[in-house]
Amino acid sequence: SMKERELEAALVTSTGHLAFLHLGSSARIGQDIMKVWESETLNKISRSFSLQNSIQALNPSGSRFKVTTSNDDKFYSFIKKDKSGKNIAIPVFNYSSQDEEIQINVNNAGFTNGKVRFYDAYNDEQIDIEIKNGVIRVPMKASSYRLLIMG
């Protein structure tokens, strides 16, 4: 489905691995398939690839570690930092077919308790999230993703 393609692109581009999107006259594999994708899906996928290059925390030379969620069978999250450790991103994926509030254990990531304003780069919005006892609760729509950036 188109939603699965969006989630896949968001995951690949947020892990810190180098990923490329070949679309247009220079593409050799897949360009005929991508031509029939919905424009909204193409825009979201292109945005994921664009963010990969513009957000320092997603730099391949940085570190990445998985964090536990309230249900690792339905949700996935990790913390990605740039090489300096100062720029932090928390990609969050809801693979369930329901809207959920996902609890993510960030206890070992150096966060302190309190309200933190994150920028959700995938959805281009500010979101206030409470960190309590090393856990953040992130509201998520069904089959969706967020890229939470500190600050």
pLDDT of 62: 86
pLDDT in tens, the chain (151 residues): 777 878 888 888 888 766 665 555 555 444 555 566 677 777 777 778 788 888 889 888 888 999 999 999 999 999 999 999 889 999 999 999 999 999 999 987 778 889 989 999 999 999 999 999 999 999 999 999 999 998 5
pTM, 2 dp: 0.84
| Cα three-residue angle 39-98-45, rounded to 5 degrees | 25
Count of CB atoms situated within 10 Å of the CB of 121: 22
- C-beta of residue 113 within 8 angstroms of C-beta of residue 67: no
How far apart CA 87 and CA 102 sit, in angstroms, is 23
Q: What is the pLDDT of residue 112?
A: 83
pLDDT at res. 29: 47
pLDDT number for residue 113? 87
**Residue 51 near residue 147, CB atoms below 8 Å:** yes
Q: Measure the CA–CA gap between 45 and 7, rounded to whole angstroms.
A: 9
